[in-house]
Structure 1
Amino acid sequence: MASVDSLLPKPAVHVDPSVTKECEGVVDIPHRFIPYDEAIGLWAEDRRISGECKRGKHAAIVIIKVLAR
């Protein structure tokens, strides 16, 4: 005999699309001499994009996609 839970419709799961959006790509490095100050700015931007975002958000996306099935 089927349980009562299996007879009830599964509740709809809504996940905001912004949560499952992947992080931005890496910073493009120009093909020319890069002054130190500009290099530091490019490095900081790259860290902002790929540091925490890549590690933490990718794990969250995987978990959300599994739970939202």
Structure 2
Amino acid sequence: MGVFSLMLAGCRSTGDGCPPLVDYSLKEQKRAAAELRALPQNSPLAAMIVDYKKTRDACRASGS
């Protein structure tokens, strides 16, 4: 299963447009950050991760 597929695997709509947010441990976050930094410059995957963060931030701001 690809990285993006894994990110979407836990998504379920709550009816308000935002899926429930998955909590990641500090260890997982540090590993993901290291892997993200290792991607080639202008990586489409890196751009998708940035978009995913924006979505998570918007869901948090909306109280979801």
**TM-score normalised per structure 1:** 0.33
* Larger RCO of the pair (alpha carbons < 8 Å, separation 6+): 1
More helix by share: 2
